[in-house]
DNA sequence: AACCCGAACAACCGCAGCCGG
DNA sequence: TCCGGCTGCGGTTGTTCGGGT
């Protein structure tokens, strides 16, 4: 059929996003809303493909994202939902406000899988591992990988079937059904429930050295952002809350925006240090914990 | 101090599904 | 009904960083 590539790859930038690019993307979406991702890079003046822009926005820049490690409760939910839905990360993510499919997928692969194996549970089937399996875990894993690639393993075929037959499967799972009946079918729900929204406490002036102090500025700024035409806030509650979880743990690109867009009315005490991202991503992610 | 290795996470790739013409 | 474009999804890869030797 001669499918068109998602974008003209010639001359397009790949790899990590810079602060400058983030800024451009955010600025664009704030003024124009989310529309036609293919056109976004051109209009926003980015040398990226639309797909890359969408991914960056949904996985990283979106204001309603929670950052940081998944809580115990979230982890448990992921496990439960994975047992029900299989590797349908977007579905799983939609039950966890503020979390992205990518984040959950990564967390699953790096943390939860291991945890489950440690406790003797097969992360694929959610059934107890046989002693023999446990004994040969590493080899087993490798074997499984190979198996997955070459044939349909017995264990995963059931999950596979959940992927190819989502409707049937979901109808057979009371929990999922329930969840959807309760209006939690996620493609339509705001990603964050009002009660889930973390209200960043403006730290006292003494903590001004902490980079997290900037989150207050973010929420002030975002309050004003509500008036941006076309900016698609998830819900009224969300707007009204003023308690956006928006990277409330540390500095983020929104601060950069605030700094620029608000005519530098708010002194920011952090510096942009990372050569790659324009800010210190790791300190942002890890300082909290 | 240098190197290696594994963990963690961001980003990319390719396919499937949806939708409008 | 078919076709083509666009978006979303899931799997995979790439990069960075920290700990161990």
pLDDT digits (tens, 9 = 90+) for A130-141: 655 554 444 444
Q: A110 CA to C20 C1', in Å?
A: 20
Summarised one tens digit per residue, pLDDT across range A210-251 is: 333 333 333 333 334 444 444 444 433 333 333 333 444 444
The boundaries of the domain holding residue A98 are 68-128
Residues 98-117 (A) near nucleic chain B, CB < 7 A:
102-103, 105-107, 109-111, 114
Closest amino acid to nucleotide C8 (CA–C1'): A90
Residue A20 lies in a domain: yes
Q: Is residue A226 part of a domain?
A: no
Does a structural domain hold residue A84? yes
Which of A19, A39, A63 represents a domain boundary (last residue)? A63
- Indicate the number of domains in chain A: 2
Q: How confident is the model at residue A165 (pLDDT cuts 50, 70, 90)?
A: very low
**Cβ within 7 Å of strand C: which of A 143-182?**
148-149, 163
> If pLDDT is split at 50, 70 and 90, which confidence band does A122 have?
confident
> Within 13 A of A10's CA, how many CA atoms are on the CB side?
0
Task: Select from A63, A84, A102 the last residue of a domain.
Answer: A63
Domain of residue A57, CATH code: 1.10.10.60
Does residue A3 belong to any structural domain of this protein?
no
Q: State the average pLDDT for chain A.
A: 58
Neighbours of A16 (CB within 10 A): 12
């Amino acid at each position: 059929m001669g499918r068109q590539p998602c974008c003209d790859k010639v001359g397009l930038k790949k790899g990590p996003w810079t602060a400058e690019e983030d800024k451009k993307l955010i600025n664009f979406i704030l003024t124009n809303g989310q529309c036609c991702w293919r056109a976004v890079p051109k209009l926003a003046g980015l040398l990226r493909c639309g797909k890359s822009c969408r991914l960056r926005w949904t996985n990283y820049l979106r204001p309603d994202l929670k950052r940081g490690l998944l809580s115990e409760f979230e982890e448990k939910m992921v496990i439960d939902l994975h047992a029900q839905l299989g590797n349908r990360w977007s579905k799983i993510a939609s039950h966890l406000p503020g979390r992205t499919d990518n984040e959950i997928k990564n967390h699953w692969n790096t943390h939860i899988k291991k945890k489950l194996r440690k406790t003797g549970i097969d992360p694929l089937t959610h059934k107890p591992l046989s002693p023999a399996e446990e004994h040969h875990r590493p080899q087993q894993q490798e074997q499984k990988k190979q198996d997955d690639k070459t044939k349909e393993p017995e264990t995963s075929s059931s999950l596979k079937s959940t992927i190819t037959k989502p409707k049937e499967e979901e109808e057979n799972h009371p929990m999922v059904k329930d969840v959807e009946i309760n209006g939690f079918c996620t493609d339509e729900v705001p990603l964050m429930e009002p009660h889930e929204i973390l209200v960043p406490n403006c730290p006292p002036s003494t903590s001004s050295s902490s980079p997290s102090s900037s989150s207050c500025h973010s929420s002030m700024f975002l309050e004003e952002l509500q008036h941006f035409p076309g900016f698609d806030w998830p819900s009224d509650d969300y707007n009204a809350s003023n308690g956006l979880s928006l990277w409330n743990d540390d500095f983020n690109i929104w601060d950069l925006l605030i700094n620029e867009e608000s005519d530098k009315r708010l002194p920011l005490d952090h510096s942009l240090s990372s050569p790659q991202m324009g800010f210190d991503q790791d300190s942002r992610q890890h300082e909290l914990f």
